[in-house]
Structure 1
Amino acid sequence: MSAKTPPLVAFACLIDSINAWLGRICAWLPVFLVVGTAVVVILRYGFGIGATGLQEAVMYGHALVFMGAAAWALQQGAHVRVDILYQRFSTRTKEVVNMFGTLVLLLPTCGFLLWLSWSYVGAAWASLEGSPEAGGLPFVYLQKSIILVLVISLLLQAISNLIKGAYRLAGRLPFEDQAEVQHG
């Protein structure tokens, strides 16, 4: 980033960096999911031993893989999109469509999820909710907090995308090549 980078663009790049960091960490969690699930199965069926805590840790990891990496997927253009018309649009029109979708669909959905989940997660934290299962993890409140990780990281990525989109449409930033975004 050069010294002439506008502060809002620098802020957007910071958001991108944080979400990319979180996404890359979450991208390694499937290794734990496979190993953890294999250990649970071997213990259960090979030795008749239950591993409730490990089984719950695998569930926590599964939630984090999808919810923790969602903003990174959005940033990379790896989210699901109906490309029937979109693929034929000019780069400028794609930017307008992306900004419209962010404003009309993503931000309201994130706002609704935040409103809906805030008291749910807050109640879990207030009681430091743990597993009801014998041998389960005492961290259910952390698992429920993953919902807020999803919502906040998506909100921040939406803000980043809107900032960069506005600068692109104003001609103050170059348009990115979609192939570069998706595989960068």
Structure 2
Amino acid sequence: MKQPLLRWQQRLTGFTLALGRSTAWLALLLVLGMMLVVTLRYGFGIGNIALQESLTYLHGALFMLAIAYTLAEDEHVRVDVLYQRFSPRQRAWVNLLGTLFLLLPVCGALFWLSLDYVLSSWKEQEASANGGLPFVYLLKSLLLILPALLTIQGLAELMRHSLTLMGATLPAPEQHPEDGL
């Protein structure tokens, strides 16, 4: 029982980590794009709405695609001051219950509440109203991709915490085998 669960947990987490590392390159593109916008505007007096909107798209994609990576690396914000004093088993219980009763329901609600909004944008092939990029529907699609990615990593977290409760010893998030890649 532990081995198949462990394999699936590692596959799902590996997917999330690979996507997160790939997404990190968007930060470099965002900085270079901002430098280009500033140089064009203040150096040459050239403004470009589509270029400026592309930075909004990159910014949105960076955060929406990398949020599951943050969860996989256990770098998300914790408010619980008692958590740090808990044993690994107690932490596993808190994380398992939090994932099951908070994270996954919120992901489901976010997906469900965004679905009509995103579908209507796709149906209209929504574009920028002020002459910017014609792909607003792609940007809005991130509202569905975010909860899907968080759900995938949430399932991996459920498996990881279940394995901990079953007595398995798992590597800490910063010790994932993919870190060397």
- Do Structure 1 and Structure 2 share a fold, with TM-score over 0.5? yes
Structure 2: tracts of 5 or more residues without a match:
none
SS at match of 2:23: helix
Q: Deviations over 1:135-168 (max 9, x none)?
A: x111111111112121100011011110121122
Matched, 1:159 2:155: yes
Stretch moving more, 71-80 or 81-90: 81-90
Matched, 1:59 2:38: no
Where do 1:16-95 residues align within 5 Å?
16-95=13-92
SS at match of 1:92: helix
Deviation at 1:29, TM superposition (A): 1.2
SS at match of 1:57: helix
Tell me the amino acid that sits aligned with residue 157 of structure 1. Answer: Q
Q: Deviations over 1:63-91 (max 9, x none)?
A: 11111100010000010012521111101
Deviation at 1:28, TM superposition (A): 1.5
Pick closer, same or farther for the CA change 1:90–1:178 going to 2, 3 Å.
farther
Give yes or no for contact 1:12–1:163 (8 Å, CA) kept in 2: yes
Matched, 1:174 2:169: yes
Q: Aligned partners of 2:162 and 2:170: how far apart in 1?
A: 11
Pick closer, same or farther for the CA change 1:177–1:22 going to 2, 3 Å.
closer
Give yes or no for contact 1:91–1:175 (8 Å, CA) kept in 2: no
Q: Aligned partners of 1:75 and 1:137: how far apart in 2?
A: 33
Give yes or no for contact 1:16–1:157 (8 Å, CA) kept in 2: yes
Tell me the amino acid that sits aligned with residue 42 of structure 2. Answer: Y
Q: Aligned partners of 2:62 and 2:72: how far apart in 1?
A: 16
Q: Tell me which residue corresponds to 2:103.
A: 106
Structure 1: tracts of 5 or more residues without a match:
none
Q: Report percent identity of matched pairs.
A: 45
Where do 1:7-22 residues align within 5 Å?
7-22=4-19
Give yes or no for contact 2:73–2:174 (8 Å, CA) kept in 1: no
Give yes or no for contact 2:72–2:173 (8 Å, CA) kept in 1: no
Stretch moving more, 143-152 or 71-80: 143-152
Tell me the amino acid that sits aligned with residue 169 of structure 2. Answer: P
Stretch moving more, 41-50 or 7-16: 7-16
